[in-house]
Each structure stands twice: as C-alpha cells, then as structure tokens.
Amino acid sequence: MNIYKPNIIAFKEKEECDKYTSSILIKEINKLKKIKLGLATGSTPREIYENLVSAYKNGAVSFKGVITFNLDEYIGLKENDYENSYRFFMNSYLFEKVDFNINNTFFPIEWNQKLDLDKNDYFEYDELINSNGGIDIQILGVGENGHIAFNEPGSKLSAKTSKTNLSDSTIEVNSRFFKAKADVPTQAVTMGLDTILKAKRILLVAYGKNKLNALKALTSASGFNENIPCTALLLHNNVTIITDQAIELLFK
C-alpha cells in the first residue's frame, strides 16, 4: 500500500482558508460544469458555503449541473428536531440559496428510502456514486477524535456506506448543536473510509486548536491507524489539508 504525504495549505486567518477553499470549488465547477462534489456539514464548511452563495449572487458560478453526495446523516433524530438534520443544514446554507437542481443532491438514507430499501442495513450509496462517475472533489472536516464523516475510531479501511454507532466523544462534541446531550442521536449513516478514498481529490478543512491533535496525528502517522480514522487519507494521492493552524502544525 502506498503512503502519500498530504499537501498542507496553511493561512493565518480562517477567512483566508474559507476563501481559498471556495475559490477552488468555484474554479472547478466552472471548468467541469457537471462536477460531482462530496459535501460535509458541521461548523467548518459553513462560511465556505456562504462564499459559494455570494459567488452565485455575483454571477461568478452556477450550480445547475452540479451533483452532490453528502457524507453522512443522523439516524433517529427526534421528530421536532429536523433542524439538526444534515439535509436541513445543506438546504438552508447552500442548496436553496443557489440554482441547484435539488434532485441532484443526495444523502445516503434518502437514497435507500427512494429505492424502498429503508428497512435495509445496506446502503446503495456507493453504487449511486459510482454510477455517476465518482466524486471529483470531496470536502471533509475532521472530528476532534480524528473521525472523518462518521467513521469513528475502530473503522475499517474497507468500509462502504453503512450504519454506525457514534462514539461518546462525538456525541459530547456534537451536543453543542442540540438542546440536551440526550437529544443527540447515537447512530448515523456514513460514507465509509473506502467510499471517501475513492474520491478523485480530497480537501480536508480543519480550524482551531481543538483540531490540532487530529491534524498532528494525521501528518505524523506512517500509515493507517484505525484508532485515528483520518489517517486513512495517507493512502490517497491527492489530499490537501487547509488549516488556520499554520504555526502549530508546520513549525512545532
């Protein structure tokens, strides 16, 4: 198995990172038009999506031909908690603010529901992605415990899109979005590590000191360590880490 060093693009300010990442996306969307994007949710990509909305409003980009595959979605959100779903997040921060064809925006659970397979434990998402020609650019965040999407410590490299149990640390960290910790679902469906590694290009965006341990573990590992799932990215030959932790990551 070949190991590759990720490129690191580090800026002092988070805003510069957001600008850099959104400019790559705008450039590639304008080049490919029918580009397939893998998208992440969470606090990290929010301003990147806001930049895309501004670019659309300025006439610098159109999303008409873009197809998107979101990384993950909670299972078992409370009925009145739709606002914590990743579908709601994407619709409100991006999809409904620009000219997306909403039918070209995919989530793993919804796709199984559409195929009438919602009682299945097997998710047909990898097939859907492959039949569309694969993901051109995957945007990723990283969890404080090193998870990518919801691939928690202990995840296998061979994992396809599947149901997963959230770790206690992820439930704790994500509880900031919920009224109470008890409201955080304990399960989710997530693209697997194998699914993510099939993307042609990966942009991992990580801001703030609380992501530094995960970034350091990734940049200093000599190969995949299943306790730190983001180290799977060392097996991909086109990964760029975009971070505001320049000094800590590069010079300490």
Among 149, 189, 203, 214, binds ligand GLP (CB under 6 A): 149
CB of 17 to ligand GLP, least distance (A): 12
Instruction: Quickly count: other Cβ atoms within 10 Å of residue 116's Cβ.
Output: 8
Is 203 an interacting residue with respect to ligand GLP (CB under 6 A)? no
Exposure of 33 in the CB half-sphere (CA atoms within 13 A): 1
Which CB, 48 or 58, lies closer to ligand GLP? 48
Is 170 an interacting residue with respect to ligand GLP (CB under 6 A)? yes
Among 72, 73, 126, 136, binds ligand GLP (CB under 6 A): 72
Distance of CA 210 to the CA centre of its chain: 18
Coil, strand, or helix at residue 100?
coil
Is 229 an interacting residue with respect to ligand GLP (CB under 6 A)? no
The yes-or-no answer on residue 51 being catalytic is no
The yes-or-no answer on residue 72 being catalytic is yes
Of 18, 47, 70, 72, the catalytic one is 72
Measured from each CB, the residue nearest to ligand GLP is 141
Length of the chain (residues): 252
Sheet holding 72-75, edge to edge: 72-75, 187-190, 162-165
Instruction: Quickly count: other Cβ atoms within 10 Å of residue 218's Cβ.
Output: 26
Residues marked active site are found at 72, 145, 147, 152
